[in-house]
C-alpha cells in the first residue's frame, strides 16, 4: 500500500512560542502511525531546528521546509539551500505550492531545478500541482496539470520519481472555504496517476503518494481520504488547530 501522509503546511503563521505550543499539544496525543502512515510538518524556516528537536523520538513523523533554492550555495540573500536543510536533518521540502507560483512567479522549469537538487541530497520533494479557477471553469484542468507534470517531473528517472510525493491542490479551493468534492478530487488524482502510468508504467505510478490539498478539514478528511487514489492531504489552516489536525491524522487509511 502507498504511504498515507497528513502534511501540515503552517505557511507564514505562528510565533516561535505558538509553534512550540502547537507541536507540544499535537505530540501529546497518541497516534496509530505504522510504517504506512506518516505525519509531516512544513514549518517556517526560522522554526525548522526547533521543530526537528521536538520530533526527536517520534516515529513516522518528519519536518519539511516550505521551500528551498535551486542552487547549493552562493550570494542569494534570504534563500535557503538544501545543504542547510540537510545539515538540520530535514528530510522533506514543499516545492511549487500555488502561493510560490503565484506570488513569486516560480515556473515549472525552476521547479524542475529545485526537484533535482532536493533529490540529489536525499530530501523528499512534496511537489504541488493544480489549476486556478479560470482553468477549472474552462474545463481545461487536465491539460493544465499534465503540463505541470511534464515540465517539472518527466525528466526524472523512475527511481527518482518514486522518491517524490505529489500534492494536487485545486487553487480555487485554497483558503476560500470551497472544497473539491471527493469525486472531483478522486477524478484528478486518478488522472494524475494515469499520466504517470503512461510515462513510467503502472508499477511505478502505483507507488506514488498523491495528496489532496484544498481546504482539508476534520469534517471532510475521512471522505476525501477514502477515495482510492487520494493518499492523504496537504493541510493549511486546519493544521494550526490541534483538535482539527488530530482528526485529519486519524482519518488516514
Please pick, among 97, 131, 189, 244, the residue that the annotation labels catalytic.
97
Helices assigned H by DSSP within 6-140: 16-27, 48-54, 82-88, 98-104, 108-120, 133-138
Active site residue 97: yes
Helices assigned H by DSSP within 62-140: 82-88, 98-104, 108-120, 133-138
For residues 84 and 130, give the distance between their C-alpha atoms in angstroms, rounded to a whole number: 29
- The alpha carbon of 196 is separated from its chain's Cα centroid by a whole number of angstroms, namely 18
Helices assigned H by DSSP within 128-217: 133-138, 141-153, 158-161, 182-200, 202-205
- The alpha carbon of 207 is separated from its chain's Cα centroid by a whole number of angstroms, namely 16
Nearest to 111 by CA among 131, 123, 129: 129
Please pick, among 99, 131, 169, 244, the residue that the annotation labels catalytic.
169
Joined grid coordinates for residue 19: 509553534
Active site residue 155: no
Residues marked as catalytic:
97, 169
Amino acid at each position: 500500500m502507498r504511504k498515507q501522509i497528513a502534511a501540515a503546511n503552517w505557511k507564514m503563521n505562528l510565533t516561535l512560542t505558538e509553534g512550540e505550543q502547537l507541536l507540544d499539544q499535537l505530540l501529546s496525543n497518541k497516534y496509530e502511525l505504522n510504517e504506512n502512515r506518516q505525519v509531516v510538518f512544513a514549518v517556517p524556516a526560522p522554526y525548522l531546528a526547533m521543530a526537528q528537536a521536538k520530533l526527536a523520538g517520534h516515529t513516522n513523523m518528519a519536518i519539511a521546509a516550505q521551500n528551498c533554492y535551486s542552487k547549493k550555495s552562493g550570494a542569494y540573500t534570504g534563500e535557503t539551500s538544501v545543504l542547510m536543510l540537510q545539515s538540520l536533518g530535514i528530510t522533506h521540502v514543499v516545492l511549487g505550492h500555488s502561493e510560490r507560483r503565484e506570488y513569486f512567479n516560480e515556473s515549472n522549469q525552476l521547479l524542475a531545478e529545485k526537484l533535482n537538487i532536493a533529490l540529489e541530497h536525499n530530501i523528499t520533494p512534496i511537489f504541488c500541482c493544480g489549476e486556478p479557477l479560470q482553468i477549472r471553469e474552462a474545463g481545461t484542468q487536465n491539460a493544465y496539470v499534465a503540463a505541470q507534470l511534464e515540465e517539472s517531473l518527466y525528466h526524472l528517472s523512475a527511481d527518482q520519481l518514486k522518491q517524490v510525493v505529489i500534492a494536487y491542490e485545486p487553487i480555487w479551493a485554497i483558503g476560500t472555504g470551497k472544497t473539491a468534492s471527493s469525486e472531483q478530487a478522486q477524478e484528478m488524482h486518478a488522472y494524475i496517476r494515469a499520466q504517470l502510468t503512461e510515462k513510467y508504467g503502472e508499477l511505478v505510478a502505483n507507488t506514488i503518494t498523491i495528496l489532496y490539498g484544498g481546504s482539508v478539514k476534520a469534517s471532510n478528511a475521512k471522505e476525501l481520504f477514502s477515495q482510492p487514489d487520494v493518499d492523504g492531504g496537504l493541510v493549511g489552516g486546519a493544521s494550526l488547530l490541534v483538535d482539527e489536525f488530530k482528526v485529519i491524522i486519524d482519518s488516514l487509511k
